[in-house]
Chains A and B, each alone.
Chain A
């Protein structure tokens, strides 16, 4: 992953998280929970992206697990 991107992205992420921490008292509880979930997911994905994710975690296969089956079905149909 590109280092310039990483520095820029992490600093912006920290900045907006800090802003959330400062403003969270004025927020509704449900709203806070939703925001925390999104930040957690973002950090989890960012960590996962630091690995050779296409080798260790074949994420593209997860999203595309249907495609080969549909393609085979289409080929058979034709």
Chain B
């Protein structure tokens, strides 16, 4: 498995985007809407900060333990028994992600598109596809994703225009009338899905430049935050919070509402054919992470031999663990955020403290200080931080003024979206500046910065 691999910073950003964004579209948004009602579209900002924290810890691990993945690092830190026990918990966590995604998509296909095809057959076919990709590496998934994720993202944004005739901004108003408690809780629910970024930890051995890796992940996370916010805005503007909060697959029903012309019917099929491959990439990344984890117990990185037994295991265990779609919905909405906060967050904190000690005095800079490029990079980084913090501050200020002025809510909404767009652009600038710095330093003679 250790061969030169070309997965560049952009592919990593889009992989993160695919991993976090596609899974959310099945049924998470319903519970978010149930909690925060018409203000549900403010629900992405705290999960963005959480995912950034995990990305920061992962990049620190790359710096402290180059060439090692999270499973190997935990074996080094905790030894055979403690490290092994934590790795088993991580494997269980990855299994949960896999099981809910596979069973969720099988349920979705069975209910919405293929009602006469047995659920188990849909699930088996999906797992066979996953096992096919299990013979390859992250590189293949990243390249396929490079084709589908931009299309998927454009599709999400284009929904705003495609559904323009159904959209009514009054369904969102009055903005920020939900209490701050509701908005905070609605920010807590997506943390479970944003926690999926931990999957990237299984591929840390393939990463060379930690700073560029962090910038790429940061950009990917902000793409997800922005994309999901727009989707929620469209969902609420078209359906209103009462209907959106009662549907099993709100996004699917949303795209069914597209009626651009009389002769262009069933547009959702076109959009679905873009979503499905992007979602499949997410599941493949999770499956590869699972195989890497199992491989670390098997004593090697050659995980091909585990492909078949793991695939069969996932088929039956996902049916066993989550019998129907209601259980999956309940689990994603309430149990997953709790598991992430109780297990993943303390683990990340522990790793952060460990990495801080280990990396003390180690300074790594891709861009020489004092150069124009360095100043550009610093300004991009600071603007991104200010914009993301600004989003939180804007919500707090908007909440303060909610009873005093209706215009306050509209201003809050406009500023919030503007700050998110600015953060999206500046995070891209930060990533590109680091990449240019790396190219100038001539560190990577190869085209990419990641190897496996």
Question: Which residues of A are interface residues toward B (Cβ below 8 A)?
Answer: 1-2, 4-5, 8-9, 12-13, 16, 19-20, 23, 27-28, 30-31, 34-35, 38-39, 41-42, 45-46, 48-49, 53-54, 59-60, 63-68, 70-71, 74, 77-78
Contacts and interface: CB of A to CB of B under 8 A. Distances in A.
Contact of A38 (B182, B313, B321, B337): B313
Contacts of B320: 45, 48-49, 53, 59
B309 A39 contact: yes
Interface of B: 35, 96, 118-121, 124, 179, 181-182, 185, 294, 297-300, 305-306, 308-310, 312-313, 315-317, 319-324, 327, 330-331, 333-335, 337-339
A35 B335 contact: no
Contact of B310 (A23, A38, A68, A77): A38
Question: Chain A contact residues: over half helix, strand or loop, or mixed?
Answer: helix
Given A2-B118, A9-B315, A30-B299, A60 B324 contact: yes
11 contacts: A5-B124, A31-B299, A38-B312, A42-B313, A63-B335, A64-B335, A65-B335, A67-B335, A70-B334, A71-B334, A78-B179
A2 B120 CA distance: 7
Which residue of B35, B320, B321 has the most chain A CB atoms within 10 A of its CB atom?
B320
B313 A78 contact: no
Contacts of A12: 312
Per CB-CB distance, the 6 closest pairs between chain A and chain B, nearest first, are A38-B309, A2-B118, A5-B120, A70-B334, A45-B316, A16-B308
Contacts of B321: 59-60, 63
Contacts of A45: 313, 316-317, 320
A58 to B, nearest CB: 9
Nearest to A39: B309
Given A64-B335, A67-B335, A35 B124 contact: no
A66 B299 contact: no
A67 B313 contact: no
A14 to B, nearest CB: 10
Given A28-B300, A30-B299, A78-B35, A66 B308 contact: no
A62 B179 CA distance: 33
Contacts of A42: 309, 312-313, 315-317
Nearest to A48: B320
A39 B185 CA distance: 41
Given A59-B320, A71-B334, A30 B124 contact: no
Given A5-B121, A30-B297, A64 B35 contact: no
Contacts of B308: 16, 19-20
B120 to A, nearest CB: 4
A65 B334 CA distance: 10
Given A12-B312, A35-B306, A45-B320, A60 B299 contact: no
B121 A60 contact: no
A34 B185 CA distance: 41
Contacts of A59: 320-321, 323
